[in-house]
Amino acid sequence: MDNSDDGLLKFELPEIIYGLGSLSQIGQCAKRLGGEKIFLVTDPGVIEHGWVDDSIKSLERESLRHVIYDNVVTNPRCFQVEQGAKLYHQKKCDVIVAVGGGSPMDAAKGIAILVSNHGRIHDYAGCNLITQPVPPLICVPTTAGTGSDVSQFSIISDPRKKIKMTILSRAIMADISLIDPRLLQTKPRELMAATGIDALTHAIEAYVSSLAWPLTDPHAIHAIELVFTHLQKAVDTRDISALEGMAVASLEAGIAFSNAILGAVHALAHPLSGVYDIHHGIANAILLPMVIRKNLPHAPRKFARVANAMGLDIRGKSDAEAGGYVPRMVQELIANLDLPTTLSEIGVKDVDIPAMARDAAQDLCMQTNPHCYGIEEIESMYHEAL
């Protein structure tokens, strides 16, 4: 990974605008980036809840024209990215705005890549393969979990090959992340729960990553604290203070993992979504406790600190003993959120495990896990999660 070359470390993040009602700033932000005709990437659900209408009003107040592209689904497809880039050129747009969850934001990043770098999105799967600057990009998250608005990642699916491609590059980090916790109010319970566990996974994996360092650790630990304080209440009540807490949790977890990268949970989750097209947060929720148990011996002191962030009094406990509470506490939270706990519940078949294990072993995220698991170990992990 490039932020550890020659022992050097770096820390990247976009401009961040946070607060209730901040959605109204989209127009000003786009204009500041030189926009005249805005390419607005979203999905039908976000449009239905009225957030795109509010965004358009803000753009129109600044006399900005716009084009809406909403052909985006969960686990955005390579052909949708290519269609979006073609439309961007046809309509002569100049700034990209993504309003939505991880899927519209990842799709917007993919579109931005192809607008200026051309070719197919497959050409950019991997680390730092983007050579030409992309158009200005603003991300407005409507979920609290993905962290795509502050990350250097884009995850794009190829449904024909049944794979998810991981693209990692500073070039696709948003210029501006605009975070309005009000937008979380319209998400259904399961989606809010799943994206919340995604944020928790980001924070834990970033904290125990081999690339973690003193600038990423505080964000990761605080995100864990916030998830355990606010997620259940946010899911159950939509209390605005809980939604604000989860918005900050997602933000800080995103900052942490964008700079420290991730681990085995994500490496195993990506093939699951590629083959079965399941929601990424659901895949993480099923895998997280099991992977933590496997990782415990490789980072005991770190997991003891994670347990403390989750609310456990670790005084008088050894690192191994304290860390041992982490998978149990995570399992309890997931059970209380009514999320699936086994792969068989979501239709995963053991016949697909060997191919998924091969893909997981090659995933970028495996490189920064506290221990790099081989194909046979990964197969065993999938079987354990069944």
Q: For residues 282 and 160, what is the distance between their CA atoms, to the nearest angstrom?
A: 22
pLDDT digits (tens, 9 = 90+) for 47-90: 999 999 999 999 999 999 999 999 999 999 999 999 999 999 99
Q: For residues 218 and 210, what is the distance between their CA atoms, to the nearest angstrom?
A: 15
Query: Do residues 224 and 266 lie in contact, with contact meaning Cβ atoms separated by under 8 Å?
Result: no
Torsion of CA 207, 99, 279, 258, to 10 degrees: -20
pLDDT digits (tens, 9 = 90+) for 250-274: 999 999 999 999 999 999 999 999 9
E strands, the chain, in order: 15-18, 37-41, 65-69, 95-100, 126-127, 137-141, 153-158, 163-168, 176-179
Among residues of the chain, what percentage have pLDDT more than 70? 98
Question: pLDDT confidence of 373, banded at 50, 70, 90?
Answer: very high
Q: What pLDDT, on a 0 to 100 scale, did the predictor assign at position 5? A: 52
pLDDT digits (tens, 9 = 90+) for 348-359: 999 999 999 999
Whether 364 shows a pLDDT value over 60: the answer reads: yes
Architecture of domain 188-385: Up-down Bundle (1.20)
Whether 6 shows a pLDDT value over 90: the answer reads: no
DSSP 8-state assignment for residue 6:
G
pLDDT digits (tens, 9 = 90+) for 192-216: 999 999 999 999 999 999 999 999 9
Instruction: List, in sequence order, every residue forming a beta bridge with 178; answer none if it has no partner.
Output: 17
Name residue, tokens 């990506």.
Answer: 270
Euclidean distance between the first and the last CA atom of the chain, given in angstroms as a whole number = 32
Residues of the chain with CATH 3.40.50.1970: 2-183
E strands, 64-145, in order: 65-69, 95-100, 126-127, 137-141
Q: For residues 128 and 168, what is the distance between their CA atoms, to the nearest angstrom?
A: 6
Residues of the chain with CATH 1.20.1090.10: 188-385
Backbone angles phi, psi at 281, to 5 degrees: -65, -35
Q: What pLDDT, on a 0 to 100 scale, did the predictor assign at position 177? A: 98
**For the whole model, what pTM was predicted?**
0.95
Topology at the third CATH level for domain 2-183: Rossmann fold (3.40.50)
Name the strand (E) or helix (H) holding 64.
none
